[in-house]
Amino acid sequence: MQSPEAISSLRFGGTGKSLRNRELSDRAGSSDGSDQRRPLAPDLHVSNVDSRKPSMCAPLLPEPILLVPQRASDCDIDLGSDCGGSAWPPDGVDFNGESVLQGTEVGVHAESRAVKLFYKKNLTFLVALVVVITTQVIGFGWAGLFRRYLVEPAAMWWPQNLVQVSLFRALHEKEERPKGGLTRNQFFLIAFICSFAYYVFPGYLFPMLTSFSWICWIFPTSVIAQQLGSGLHGLGIGALGFDWSSVSSYLGSPLASPWFATANIAAGFALFMYVIYPLAYWLNIYKAKTFPIFSDGIFTSTGQSYNVSAIIDPNFHIDIEAYDRKGPLYISTFFSISYGVSFACLAATVVHVFLFHGSEIWQLSKSALQEKKMDVHTKLMRKYKQVPQWWFMCILLVNIVATIFACQYYNDQLQLPWWGILLACSLALFFTLPVGVITATTNQTPSLNVITEYIIGYLYPGYPVANVCFKVYGNISMKQGITFLQDFKLGHYMKIPPRAMFLAQVVGAILTAFVHLGTAWWLMDSIPNICDRELLPVGSPWTCPSDHVFYDASVIWGLIGPRRIFGDLGYYSAINWFFLAGAIAPFLVWLAHKASPDKHWIGLITMPVLLGATTDMPPATAVNYTSWILIGFASGFIAYRYYRDWWSRHNYVLSGALDAGLAFMGVMLYLCLGMEHLSLNWWGSDSDGCPLASCPTAQGIVVKGCPIL
């Protein structure tokens, strides 16, 4: 394990002792290990700044589309020259004008949709707007508190930013065409056109390309075969997605993921999906065979959908007598174990950061005002006027006060008491640093979804909307803080004045909150039966998978409460042992690394990423992972090792081009066809082709459309 000084001074062209850092160094160096270095981003001139965000319609669609909005500014940034002679990003800087960065987490709108569409409860636009804006802007407070730890150290390199920098370079750098090859601009244009033209097939003409499950074709009448082969409703064995949106929608671009992180995700996915869960299912743990093999639904003991409306009283609280008459709620074994994996991931995150990064964090805390602890880029950034800490504190305090006022004044709509806001903010404050470290080094972000639901569910049971609000302020505000930190790091790379970056982020966050919420409100009012899977036509894109998970979670954790499900009164109480397992796992890796420091691969095992590999499932499905892992292997291992020249020139450019082409065609398809409700109905319209994958295999269970065993 390298010293804190080595970590804080890590450079892409250096020879860091850590294997994680060594991989970063290799990416800037030559394949033969000599002192010759490949320029990673020389002389980049940027005229706009980009931050990839989900489309405002993304949470409603089966495979969310990531849009790449371009914000016009007039930056002229020189990112230096050879990375071997200077750290990444290089030293040169020439800035003119302002950058416009905006950030919003569209997932926060799931609260509004869950309340209005599933609970049929009134939620005014004003209240929803207050929740959305305060959730986004509170994140600035967390970002301001942890800039010192997550932006300034070179070891916190934020992999996703490399895609953006490469995209800017392709669009704005003047480059001579190499003999027999293409310039980055030409390569981007070709890849963009191909991505744009191709998405019309999985996006409209041939949706089955989203999940090509060939096992289901071979065994059209076998429930077990379709459970194994379905990429959307089963284990996804052999399933592939020929659709970039299915590849990048949940885990981000596999082209931007460091290979060690991709390998950790692949190992975690294989362990959970093909070892632990199949054993649990076929051993019938938690009545697994009574329910679908892969489902986020809530059920009765006989495998039927649970009628939540029957256990809610007129005051929108749980009716205990009605609940006792109806019987306990059940979830699929997959869903229950996925909650356990979330418990393990969260515990592993805290322990991992303490063991592997605790000393560096402590050193940074002690040296907050010592210039000698800064790398060259931080020193260059200090030449600009910094954003005073009190700006962040004022924004944080004002928004917390506004949130408390809204929850008290509109308590009939939000249900959350004032102390719930303070507790949610305390959780976000505590976890921003450890989660930020994992994100900045692996490109994967552990979530606070489950722990926030768990805590408020125990402290304030029977109030589903309060549970949702607590999760929004605890988890989404933390994620927004992570997003803003990533944008600050982009500005750090490009030497953008911090005050210009700060102002653009604040204005952008508020503006996009209005746009996204307005669009969500319009969609809910204009699309018949939106999010209602039983009433929507077959193949409809408006199934809202993320919102269904949001709603089911509010029932499990908020309405009924964790004590009746995961506590001493619950059927799934053993799931709590995952907390202990998650805390122990990083400690074992740390001991192994200390015992065998020469075995460098041990240091690459990142338990928060490995254990948290499947925390996005559901709504993510098996095909999202199988396709992502294959492309990540092709890029991070094969192309990087054996086609280094191509990888260094085109890998990140290709990622940006695929995102951009998909985004433009996705918007065009919606505006031209989706708004007119024009759809095709043929066998290729079935996005999976595995209708029996969701059928139970327990004897005597009757489910519509399924054979009775």
Q: DSSP secondary-structure letter at 308?
A: G
Give the DSSP letter string of 366-427.
HTTT-GGGS-HHHHHHTTSPPPPHHHHHHHHHHHHHHHHHHHHHTHHHH---HHHHHHHHHH
Looking at the fold, whether 551 and 657 belong to one and the same domain comes out as no
Looking at the fold, whether 461 and 478 belong to one and the same domain comes out as yes
Cα gap 524→354, rounded to integer Å: 44
Lowest-pLDDT range, 448-462, 484-498, 524-538? 524-538
Is 178 within the bounds of a domain? Answer: yes
**The last residue of a domain, from among 524, 539, 559:** 559
Looking at the fold, whether 92 and 173 belong to one and the same domain comes out as yes
Looking at the fold, whether 481 and 546 belong to one and the same domain comes out as yes
Q: DSSP secondary-structure letter at 37?
A: B
Tokens read off for 26: 């290799």
**Residue in the block written with tokens 């790091």:** 489
Looking at the structure of the chain, the number of domains it has is 2
pLDDT in tens, 227-243: 999 999 999 998 999 99
Cα gap 212→199, rounded to integer Å: 15
Q: What is the mean predicted confidence (pLDDT) over 497-512? A: 89
Give the DSSP letter string of 594-611.
HH-TT-HHHHT--HHHHH
**Residue in the block written with tokens 């959350």:** 416
Closest CA to 136 of 509, 518, 511: 509
Is 291 within the bounds of a domain? Answer: no
Looking at the fold, whether 56 and 124 belong to one and the same domain comes out as no
Please, which pLDDT band fits residue 662 given cuts at 50, 70 and 90? very high
Looking at the fold, whether 63 and 94 belong to one and the same domain comes out as yes
Give me the residues paired with residue 331 across strands.
Answer: 298
Tokens read off for 653: 């450019």
pLDDT in tens, 605-624: 999 999 988 988 888 999 99
- Residue 621's SS3 state is coil
Q: What is the mean predicted confidence (pLDDT) over 368-375? A: 55
pLDDT at 517: 85
Tokens read off for 171: 């669009």
Better-scored residue on pLDDT, 158 or 362? 158
**Spacing of C-alpha 297 from chain mean position:** 21
Is 424 within the bounds of a domain? Answer: yes
**The last residue of a domain, from among 511, 544, 559:** 559
The pTM score is: 0.77
**The last residue of a domain, from among 538, 559, 580:** 559
Is 698 within the bounds of a domain? Answer: no
Burial class, 333, CB count within 10 angstroms (exposed 0-12 / middle 13-18 / buried 19+) = buried
Looking at the fold, whether 649 and 546 belong to one and the same domain comes out as no
Better-scored residue on pLDDT, 174 or 630? 630
Looking at the fold, whether 506 and 651 belong to one and the same domain comes out as no
Is 344 within the bounds of a domain? Answer: no
Is 422 within the bounds of a domain? Answer: yes
What is the identity of the amino acid at 583?
Answer: A
Residue 50 has pLDDT above 60, yes or no: no
The listed range with the strongest mean pLDDT (57-66, 349-358, 538-547) is 349-358
Better-scored residue on pLDDT, 576 or 85? 576
Residue 525 is part of which domain span?
103-154+375-559
Is 529 within the bounds of a domain? Answer: yes
Looking at the fold, whether 467 and 518 belong to one and the same domain comes out as yes
Q: DSSP secondary-structure letter at 139?
A: H
pLDDT in tens, 180-207: 788 888 899 999 999 999 999 998 899 8
Q: What is the mean predicted confidence (pLDDT) over 314-318? A: 79
Half-sphere exposure of 268 (CA within 13 A, CB side): 27
pLDDT at 28: 34
Looking at the fold, whether 183 and 88 belong to one and the same domain comes out as yes
pLDDT at 287: 92
Cα gap 49→491, rounded to integer Å: 9
Is 453 within the bounds of a domain? Answer: yes
Closest CA to 435 of 360, 348, 493, 338: 348
Half-sphere exposure of 701 (CA within 13 A, CB side): 21
Phi/psi class of residue 54: alpha, beta or left (left: φ > 0; alpha: ψ in -120 to 50)? beta
Cα gap 80→671, rounded to integer Å: 42
Looking at the fold, whether 75 and 114 belong to one and the same domain comes out as no
Looking at the fold, whether 539 and 654 belong to one and the same domain comes out as no
**Cβ-contact 388, 21 below 8 angstroms:** no
Give me the residues paired with residue 503 across strands.
Answer: none
